Amino acid sequence: MARLALLSVSDKTGLIEFARQLVHEFEFDLISSGGTAAALKDAGLRVTKVSDYTGSPEILGGRVKTLHPRIHGGILARRDLVEDVADLEAQQIRPIDLVVVNLYPFEQTIAQPNVTLAEAIEQIDIGGPAMLRAAAKNFAHLTVLCNPAQYDRYLQALRQNQGEVSLEFRQAAALKAFQHTGAYDRAIARYLEQQTGSEELPATFTLAGQQLQALRYGENPHQPAAWYQTGAVASGWAAAEKLQGKELSYNNLVDLEAARRIITEFADPQSPPAAAILKHTNPCGAALGTTIAEAYQKAFEADSVSAFGGIVALNREIDAATATELTKTFLECVVAPGCNSDAQEILAAKSKVRVLLLPTLNEGPSHTVKAIAGGFLVQTADDVIANPSDWQVVTENQPTPAQLEELLFAWKICKHVKSNAIVITRDRATLGVGAGQMNRVGSVKIALEQAGEKAQGAILASDGFFPFDDSVRTAAAAGIGAVVQPGGSLRDQESIQAANELGIVMVLTGIRHFLH
């Protein structure tokens, strides 16, 4: 008797040619349902509809098609068990040797703008996951395929083994099926969690992804690494267009994400052109300008030494003037929402520089995850939008409008510097950055040393409160005119008193931005 293949797919990529090979080269009989059966029939292939095979019509508008003993009996039967074989014979059920199923496009549906809950619910597949799980469970006796990319490998396996498929192949295919249904269920759960509108983290937090590519290595050459995409629809860096350059590395992607988070602070269409240059996830220069070329020049001049080999993020399309400046030094990566043709031609002279276009620079993950021994930590993303109207001026001296704008700029940049973080700015450009020191005074000294004489009249931002007044006195001695910090220390009054004594402005935001 000919072998029996069940085909029921939403993604019909490669389906017809695959089915032809099954029928003509390996003499399979085909059963199928709904649109898959229609597509096979239109291609001139002989196919039996599931409803004809089971003797039960499709009901509930197609919601119930394959949930039938003749289908699941044929999938789940153990061919080496006498009782199972007897049941098949008694019920006149043919064993199914191949199950080819992929699921309703749930994630593609919810990715569409303005999709309703009812529309999303209708794209929750029921029969498909049931068949995949049943076939995967019984991999000892049949093969399950859930992705068109598997079709050629399956046909090659048949050809290489006289029409049979090895147990190792079937087990590997079963694993992919369980991974597929697991990811599908997680996507549905995430979507329904989002619909609740609750700000609380769920009792069960799942994380899964499909490998996009193996990376050369991780942070260091001895660490294997890979890049995974969450969701069936490419988004974020997986959706970025790479205009040129070498393959992205693990460290490139980590730095690019840090750069994206900084430039998101200036994603508002009313925001001036902005540029940020990063090294090891910390900004070595960030600035606003009247043009994107000016913003980049100011960011570069903030620390031209550290900018060498840096990652650049821009909130405007790359134009010819900016491209010319970008090619004057060695850079690892440049990311922007766009790049005009003149700029592309200029950048091509530096063919190894990775240039990426990501129009959705302001769209990032809603949660951050860190692995720890025995588990992982999850928190909501630090995407609080700074609002100076909520700030409190605690000194006798009040900030001028110009100082308030500068304080806001410095605060936005400081948020993205490793704690203990100190940022010194003037004219909407960083002058000095103190990052990741074990004490705040150390960060202050590093930032002031980098700023040098330019610190006169500049702004200082601190991601955390000052536990002592020593940082305030050090800043004032270097000429700092105003300080923005979250407040919240038991010794706040000592810092405020020092600021009043030294004649500088101090503003408390009430929000802390530690970045570990």
Give the span between the Cα atoms of 487 and 497, in whole angstroms: 13
The pair of structure tokens assigned to 419 is 């704690």
> How does strand 98-102 pair with strand 210-215?
unpaired
Give the span between the Cα atoms of 363 and 336, in whole angstroms: 13
Strand partners, 3: none
Q: How many residues are there in the chain?
A: 516
Secondary structure class of 472 (helix, strand, coil):
helix
Closest by alpha carbon to 474, among 434, 516, 426?
A: 434
The pair of structure tokens assigned to 370 is 């860190």
Catalytic residue, from 12, 41, 137, 176: name it. Answer: 137
C-alpha separations of 187 from 201, 233, 365, 370, 415 in Å: 16, 11, 15, 20, 31
Is 280 one of the annotated active-site residues of the chain? Answer: yes
Catalytic residue, from 12, 41, 246, 280: name it. Answer: 280
Is 137 one of the annotated active-site residues of the chain? Answer: yes
Closest by alpha carbon to 79, among 87, 90, 67?
A: 87
The pair of structure tokens assigned to 210 is 């499909």
Give the span between the Cα atoms of 210 and 220, in whole angstroms: 23
Give the span between the Cα atoms of 481 and 504, in whole angstroms: 5
Buried-exposed string 283-293: b where 16+ CB fall within 10 A, e elsewhere:
bbbbbbbeebb
What are the backbone dihedrals phi and psi of residue 287, each rounded to the nearest 5 degrees, phi first?
Answer: -160, 160
DSSP structure string for 284-341: EEEEE-SSHHHHHHHHHHHSHHHHTTEEEEESS-B-HHHHHHHTTS-EEEEEES-B-H
143 with 154: CB under 8 angstroms?
yes
Give the span between the Cα atoms of 257 and 359, in whole angstroms: 14
User: Please, which residues have CB within 8 angstroms of residue 99's CB and are 6 or more apart in sequence?
Assistant: 5, 6, 75, 131, 132, 134, 135, 142, 143, 144, 145
> Residue written as tokens 């994206």?
260
Give the up-direction half-sphere exposure of residue 404: CA atoms within 13 A in the CB hemisphere.
Answer: 14
Catalytic positions are 137, 280
